[in-house]
């Protein structure tokens, strides 16, 4: 499990370094975070709505989703969380969850106490700024999703999501923009783009017929990324994969410490 944790915290640090310069000492402090690991089967909640949380969750393996839940139990996916994402970093300052985080596949999560993270924020302004930028990027993605749901047609919505996930997977070292694992069901995909599963399936078939992409058994293969991006009016600038004018720091190599919990989550 140590290697999985090292990869996850390293991906999180790399994500921060895309947008924020951090000193060697600041990087060492992030890599030295002490956490514990939990494992979740698909469809299990990692964080529940209304839960008061004391730890932030780092996705180590698998795919999770952030959901908004309606009174009748229906859910809208508002974000996909991949390995290296600190899925609820905002909980450090707002510890009451107004959403749920749910495992969409088997997921390994590393939990880091708010106490530790608050110490980093108050001691190292560079880390505080990097965390702030990271949560701002999450907000940028939500804004883009809202615009897509409100103003784009079905094919553009689906195409845009596949382009976005390709860019994110590539930046995280989890694949390339044209080939990556995306273990979601058509029902879950439909929940993300505001369509019915039947309509979502029809759109995917249309994109395949246009030689844009294939999506089979949780694997995405882009046949023509540029054409698909054009169909979706996809501009990756909202992902903020690099800040203009900032010099990207080099990640240091230092192991962090993870404790196994008494028993895995069921």
Query: Tell me, what's the pLDDT at 74?
Result: 81
- Which among 139, 166, 181 is the end of a domain? 139
Q: Is 44 exposed, middle or buried (0-12, 13-18, 19+ CB in 10 A)?
A: middle
Domain assignment present for residue 261? The answer is no
**Same domain, yes or no: 2 and 83:** yes
The answer as to whether 254 is a domain residue is no
Q: Kind of pairing, strands 64-69 and 75-81?
A: antiparallel
If you average pLDDT over residues 62-85, what whole number do you get? 92
pLDDT at 129 over 80: yes
Mean pLDDT of 71-90: 92
Q: Which residues contact 76 (CB under 8 A, 6 or more apart)?
A: 67, 68, 70, 191, 194
In a domain, 15, yes or no: yes
Residues 9 and 66 in one domain: yes
| Residue 256 pLDDT greater than 50, yes or no | no
Query: Has residue 246 been placed in a domain?
Result: no
103, 182: one domain: no
**Please, which pLDDT band fits residue 182 given cuts at 50, 70 and 90?**
very high
- Give the separation between CA 121 and CA 105, rounded to whole angstroms: 32
Cβ burial, residue 250 (10 Å; 0-12/13-18/19+): exposed
Answer for the pair 205, 212: CB distance below 8 angstroms, yes or no: no
Q: Is the domain of 163 the same as that of 102?
A: no
**Residue 172 to residue 77: CA distance in whole angstroms:** 21
145 located within any domain:
no
**Residue 249 in domain:** no
Q: Are residues 124 and 33 located together in one domain of the fold?
A: yes
pLDDT digits (tens, 9 = 90+) for 188-246: 999 999 999 999 999 999 999 999 999 999 999 999 999 999 999 999 999 998 866 55
Q: How confident is the model at residue 117 (pLDDT cuts 50, 70, 90)?
A: very high
pLDDT higher than threshold 80 for residue 263? no
Same domain, 195 and 131: no
Instruction: Give the confidence band of 262 by pLDDT, cuts at 50, 70, 90.
Output: very low
From the list 117, 123, 120, 13, the residue with the least C-alpha distance to 56 is: 117
> How large is the C-alpha radius of gyration of the chain?
18
pLDDT at 3 exceeding the cut of 50: yes
Residue 98 pLDDT level (bands cut at 50, 70, 90): confident
Domain with 185 in it: what CATH number?
A: 1.10.10.10
Percent of residues, the chain, with pLDDT higher than 70: 91
Q: Taking residues 92-100, what's their average pLDDT?
A: 92
Residue 69: predicted pLDDT: 80
Domain count, the chain: 2
**Lowest mean pLDDT, pick from 96-100, 108-112, 124-128:** 96-100
Tokens describing residue 156: 């553009």
131 shares a domain with 73: yes
Claim to verify: residue 17 and residue 134 sit in the same structural domain: yes
Averaged pLDDT of the chain = 91
Note whether residue 218 is domain-resident. yes
Q: Does residue 247 lie in a domain region? A: no
Task: Return the higher-pLDDT residue of 261 and 98.
Answer: 98
Shared domain for 130 and 24, answered yes or no, is yes
Same structural domain for residues 128 and 171? no
Point out the domain boundary residue: 139, 170, 197. 139
CATH assignment at residue 88: 2.60.120.10
| Integer Cα distance of 124 and 59 in angstroms | 24
* Average pLDDT score over residue span 171-178: 96
Last residue of a domain, one of 139, 164, 193: 139
User: Are 21 and 131 in a shared domain?
Assistant: yes
What residue numbers bound the domain in which 161 lies?
Answer: 152-239
Q: Are residues 4 and 83 both part of a single domain?
A: yes
Please compute the mean of the pLDDT values over residues 37-53 and round it to a whole number.
Answer: 95
b/e sequence 102-140, b meaning 16+ C-beta within 10 Å: bbbbebbbbbbbbebbeebbeebebbbbbbebbeebbee
């Amino acid at each position: 499990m140590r290697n999985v944790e090292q990869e996850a915290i390293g991906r999180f640090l790399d994500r921060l370094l895309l947008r924020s310069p951090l000193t060697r000492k600041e990087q060492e402090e992030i890599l030295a975070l002490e956490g514990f690991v939990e494992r979740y089967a698909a469809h299990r909640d990692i964080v529940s709505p209304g839960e008061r949380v004391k730890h932030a969750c780092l996705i180590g393996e698998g795919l999770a989703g952030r959901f908004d839940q309606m009174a009748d139990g229906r859910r809208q996916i508002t974000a996909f969380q991949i390995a290296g994402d600190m899925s609820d970093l905002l909980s450090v300052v707002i510890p009451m969850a107004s959403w749920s985080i749910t495992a969409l596949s088997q997921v390994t999560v590393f939990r880091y106490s708010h106490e530790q993270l608050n110490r980093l924020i108050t001691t190292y302004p560079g880390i505080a700024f990097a965390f702030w930028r990271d949560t701002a990027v999450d907000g940028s993605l939500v804004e883009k999703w809202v615009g897509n749901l409100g103003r784009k047609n079905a094919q553009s919505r689906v195409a845009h999501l596949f382009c976005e996930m390709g860019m994110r997977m590539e930046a995280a070292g989890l694949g390339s923009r044209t080939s990556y694992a995306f273990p979601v069901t058509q029902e879950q995909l439909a929940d993300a783009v505001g369509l019915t599963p039947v309509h979502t399936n029809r759109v995917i078939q249309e994109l395949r017929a246009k030689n844009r992409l294939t999506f089979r058994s949780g694997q995405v293969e882009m046949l023509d990324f540029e054409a698909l991006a054009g169909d979706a009016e996809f501009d990756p600038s909202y992902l903020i994969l690099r800040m203009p004018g900032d010099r990207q720091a080099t990640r240091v190599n230092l192991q962090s410490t993870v404790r196994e919990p008494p028993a895995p989550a069921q």
